[in-house]
Structure 1
Amino acid sequence: MQGMGGDDCPFEFNFDAATFKVGDTVSYRVVGNSMFDGMPFAGELLEVHDDHVVIAGDAGDPSVRYRGTRESRPQVQADEI
């Protein structure tokens, strides 16, 4: 992440929900669990719908998918994890 050792963040995020497309990397948050509150995660968009997105939860396991809100930083409910 920027400011940590001089290296830039290895991810390029799309924060514009209006332009989300499959394959974009987004920063998402898990809500509903105090252990994860405020902690950012990175994921790739697998599906983009009018009212939600589907995010890859584990790059090594394609069956792990999270439904998130469609906003600049999608929110995923903790019970999805």
Structure 2
Amino acid sequence: MQGMGEGGCPFEFNTDPATFKVGDSVSYRVTGSLEGFPFAGVLLEVHDDHVVLTSNVDDKASRMRATRESRPVVQEADVC
């Protein structure tokens, strides 16, 4: 894939939960059968103890609650 070689990842993710803000791109993880796969999302809400993110900003119903850490974790049951 283009951009995935020597130049590294074509995305820029915020990995500092202390600076998370709405609109930031993050790399997140999912528990269960999807564990180990990387996912990319955009933060919709930032709270003291969790975030709400989406993997599809064009789908208003696509919202997932996740932990607030460098790579947020979404429970498999919450995946939209």
Q: TM-score normalized by structure 1?
A: 0.85
**CA offsets 1:13-41 (integer angstroms, 9 cap, x no match):** 0000000000100000001x22x111110
Q: Unpaired segments of 5 or more residues in structure 2? A: none
CA separation in 2, counterparts of 1:37 and 1:60? 25
Instruction: Name the structure 1 match of 2:74.
Output: 76
* Cα distance in 2 for residues equivalent to 1:57 and 1:65: 8
Matches within 5 A, 1:2-81: 4-31=4-31, 33-34=32-33, 36-81=34-79
Give 1:63 deviation, angstroms: 1.3
- Alpha-carbon distance between aligned partners in 2 of 1:28 and 1:44, rounded to the nearest angstrom: 10
**C-alpha root-mean-square deviation of aligned residues, in Å?**
2.1
Higher strand share: 1
Provide the C-alpha distance between the structure 2 equivalents of 1:23 and 1:4, rounded to a whole number of angstroms.
23
* Structure 1: runs of 5+ lacking an equivalent: none
Moved over 6 A (4+): none
TM-score by length of 2: 0.86
Q: Is the 8 A contact 2:4 2:10 kept in 1?
A: no
State the shift of 1:57 in Å: 2.8
